Structure 1
Amino acid sequence: MSGLLEYKVALVVGAGRHPGLGIAQRFAREGAKLLLIDRDERALKAHAGTLGASVFVAAPGDKRALLGAIAEAIAVHGRVDILVNAAAEAPRWQRLEAMDDADYDAAFAQGFSAARWAMLAVQPSMREQGGGRILNLGSVYGENVAEYIGAYAAAAEALRALTRTAAQEWGADGILVNVLMASVDDERFRDYAQRHAEHVERSLPLVALQRFGDPVEDIGGAAVMLAGEDGRYVTGSTIHADGGYHMAGPVYVPILETIP
């Protein structure tokens, strides 16, 4: 254990799967005390023992449940030094004209509102203790042009704007707020790759490093930098841990005939 986060208390919302899980695993290696929230109780319990984590079951898109879980989590150690928001769900591919209000409500509940609620829930204790770190997992889909995921992209960009505002307003209290853009090789990606191999084969050459990121070593490593002492002067920023994928311009354009 290198101890880069030793004695720090980290709350990860969306820790039931990668990239939130990978970040939690890397934080544990660096000595952090973990508080994990996810809707998937089985996934949380599967990793709680090996990570030495306290776990809380709540759907991030359910405000009352999420805030209740966060309050319980903060009470465990009496503080939270690091908040990671990684609850956004995978996008639903649809043309703009096929999306209705429910699609936008769902995308914003998971990709924007859950992070906002969590940020506001931990801010008072972070301010009182003299500071903290907030990492919001973002999406290159929002930053670059990506067709057929308008609701998801809009929520992702709204979160980036909120991150910058929070960084400015809370900076004097020592609270650093950043976006971490991750391109991760996880179970959702592998499932998609099995169903759309041609699409993935066309996308991989757009990644400068010619591979998608390991959730623990690559994404978790970037998160440790932002959460630890090495990130002490970084706030209001968008950090890309995506192998250069963000440089490609339009990203992940799906095969047209698969879109209803």
Structure 2
Amino acid sequence: MSRTALVTGGVSGLGRATAERLRADGITVLTLDRSPDADLTVDVTDAGAVASAVESCGPVDILINSAGVIGPNKPLWEISDTEWATTFAVNVTGIFHLCRAVVPGMRERGWGRIVNFASIAGKDGNPQLSAYSASKAAVIALTKSLGKELASSGVLVNAIAPAVINTPMNAATAPEVLARLAGLIPMGRIGEPEEVAELVAWLASEKCSFSTGAVYDISGGRATY
């Protein structure tokens, strides 16, 4: 059966790698991004624009919520209200907007897969990245709640928690912060987007059939729980 996937943040980094991997499985992929290179140029923080874009797609079977920002690289007490709010608007509220838009159709059809991009920071908390860490913890909680709400509907909702991955987004992270985070990985290297995309592809497939509301670490051994 032909499936359609909507990948937010799908123009670069983990979103792009995921879109390419899903296409390799024969899935029709639409990218949603602020970039003009996306199939749908939309800011995930704009609820109305998200709703209109999803409506224009037709049935969405798979939703990959990859759009995200690192946010401020500074101690919590130096973070401005705007920096904090912006980080949550993209990383958490954006996922809320997309899930709210696609879930009714998935429930009606009795099948769907949602994969939310969290982070190992949402479990461990990274110093100098408190807004990012807190937002990714919220993604984990959202995933667990929505997974339970939809558990008997045929719609599965899971999250992934990567450690540091070689993406353009991490280019915005202060070098000393990035080096410290990479040093926490027992494998001694950062991950590649293609490695993450393999996990996402399984979670988005029919082969994933008895997992929902779960968080899958892909961290080179960094995860402690």
TM-score (norm 1): 0.80
Q: Secondary structure at the match of 1:171?
A: coil
Deviations 1:11-33 (A, max 9, x none): 11111211111111110111110
User: Structure 1 residues 122 and 90, CA, compared in 2 at 3 Å: closer, same or farther?
Assistant: same
Distance 1:98 1:205 in 2: 25
CA positional deviation for 1:97:
1.5
Deviations 1:219-242 (A, max 9, x none): 110001111122111111100122
1:240 aligns with 2:217: yes
Distance 2:127 2:221 in 1: 20
CA positional deviation for 1:206:
2.2
User: Structure 1 residues 200 and 115, CA, compared in 2 at 3 Å: closer, same or farther?
Assistant: closer
Kept in 2: contact 1:14–1:60 (CA 8 A):
no
CA positional deviation for 1:201:
4.5
Q: Secondary structure at the match of 2:31?
A: strand
Q: Secondary structure at the match of 1:67?
A: helix
1:106 aligns with 2:101: no
Residue among 145, 152, 161 paired with 2:141:
161
Could you say which residue in structure 2 is the equivalent of 1:20? 15
Deviations 1:119-178 (A, max 9, x none): 111111101111211000001122103112222222111111111111111111111111
Q: Secondary structure at the match of 2:150?
A: helix
Q: Secondary structure at the match of 1:24?
A: helix
Q: Secondary structure at the match of 2:13?
A: coil
Residue among 121, 130, 136 paired with 2:110:
130
Could you say which residue in structure 2 is the equivalent of 1:71? 55
Kept in 2: contact 1:138–1:182 (CA 8 A):
yes
Kept in 1: contact 2:110–2:154 (CA 8 A):
yes
Distance 1:63 1:165 in 2: 21
Distance 1:201 1:96 in 2: 20
Deviations 1:163-220 (A, max 9, x none): 111111111111111111123212233x358x62x5545443421222222212x111
User: Structure 1 residues 203 and 157, CA, compared in 2 at 3 Å: closer, same or farther?
Assistant: closer
Could you say which residue in structure 1 is the equivalent of 2:169? 188
Distance 1:67 1:122 in 2: 9
User: 1:39 is matched by which residue type in structure 2?
Assistant: R
Distance 1:8 1:38 in 2: 20
1:84 aligns with 2:64: yes
Distance 1:228 1:16 in 2: 21
Distance 1:221 1:228 in 2: 11
Kept in 2: contact 1:9–1:82 (CA 8 A):
yes
User: Structure 1 residues 202 and 95, CA, compared in 2 at 3 Å: closer, same or farther?
Assistant: closer
1:215 aligns with 2:210: no
* Higher radius of gyration, 1 or 2: 1
User: 1:70 is matched by which residue type in structure 2?
Assistant: V
User: Structure 1 residues 199 and 151, CA, compared in 2 at 3 Å: closer, same or farther?
Assistant: closer
TM-score (norm 2): 0.92
User: Structure 1 residues 211 and 124, CA, compared in 2 at 3 Å: closer, same or farther?
Assistant: same
Deviations 1:30-79 (A, max 9, x none): 1110111000113x3xxxxxxxxxx1101112222222212212x2xxx1
User: 1:36 is matched by which residue type in structure 2?
Assistant: T
Kept in 2: contact 1:15–1:38 (CA 8 A):
yes
Could you say which residue in structure 2 is the equivalent of 1:34? 29
Gaps of 5+ in 1: 1-5, 45-54, 250-260
User: 2:22 is matched by which residue type in structure 1?
Assistant: F
Residue among 113, 116, 119 paired with 2:99:
119
Q: Secondary structure at the match of 1:173?
A: coil
Distance 2:133 2:182 in 1: 21
1:227 aligns with 2:222: no
Kept in 2: contact 1:11–1:36 (CA 8 A):
yes
